Amino acid sequence: MHTYIISDLHLTPERPNITKAFFDFLRDQAPLAEQLYIIGDLFEFWIGDDAAEQLGAAPVLDAMKAISQVTDCFFMPGNRDFLVRQSFTERTGFKILDDESIIDFYGVKTLLLHGDSLCTDDLAHQQFRQTMMTNRAFCDGFLSLDVPSRIEQAKQARLQSAQHKSEVSMGIMDVTEHAVLEAFAKHGVSQMIHGHTHRQNTHHYKVEGETVIRYVLGDWGETNSVMRVDKAGIEITNQAI
């Protein structure tokens, strides 16, 4: 028995090879797992469940629906697909998880999160989280716009995001140790798993004399990044795309 965790595929019709790699994963690997977690930024952007067909996401949603019939599937929104709603669950069969969920993986209490909440040096992003991502009134207002208006605003946001990334240092866009240690302390867990930074790695920390571990998934591009969790532990593999 094992579980797969993936994140940061950033699916878009502009990168059909990544979508194909996702379909291959869902066909060949995911059915063998008892659970599948996608922990954010599955999509390059998501402007509402009702716009999915128009943006060409229907085949992805169909494939998700199919795997959810055989494997228990969960979706945690990231900072690019935070606008998924209950209708997404009905369409895909994936249950939606809150950011910062505690999951018991084979007896180990684990903090699962997308990861952007840990990037506390990135003040512009934290402001975006506060005023837009986690602001119900903002989200409801945006979702009430017609689809062409939402597409236009999303384009602007993507341009701003690209500009922001080119302006701030790589260090600022990584997690801060302070935020990581605070999250370990707050949730009282010995391991956490996240994506977002695209810096696949395994980090060890000492908290009150105990070793705790932070696992970071990579994004999908030249290779995929697939975490396999079972009783024996956690490993991340990368296959060429």
Q: Which residues bind Mn ion (CB under 5 A)?
A: 41, 78-79, 196
Residue nearest to Mn ion (CB): 196
Contact 202, 193 (CB under 8 A): no
Q: Would you state the structure tokens that stand for residue 120, as one six-digit string?
A: 């506390």
> At closest approach, how far in Å is the CB of 218 from Mn ion?
12
Q: Which is nearer to Mn ion, 33 or 119 (CB)?
A: 119
Contact 5, 229 (CB under 8 A): yes
The amino acid sitting at 74 is F
> At closest approach, how far in Å is the CB of 80 from Mn ion?
6
- Cβ neighbours for 132, distance < 8 A, ≥ 6 positions apart: 138, 139
> At closest approach, how far in Å is the CB of 132 from Mn ion?
14
Tell me the helix, strand and coil percentages in the chain, rounded to 5: 40, 25, 40
Q: Which is nearer to Mn ion, 82 or 184 (CB)?
A: 82
3-state SS, 21-38, equals: HHHHHHHHCHHHCCEEEE
- Give CA–CA dist 185/177, Å, rounded: 12
Q: Which is nearer to Mn ion, 41 or 49 (CB)?
A: 41
> At closest approach, how far in Å is the CB of 43 from Mn ion?
11
C-alpha closest to that of 6 among 21, 14, 15, 16: 21
Q: Which is nearer to Mn ion, 216 or 226 (CB)?
A: 216
> At closest approach, how far in Å is the CB of 50 from Mn ion?
23
Q: Which is nearer to Mn ion, 49 or 81 (CB)?
A: 81
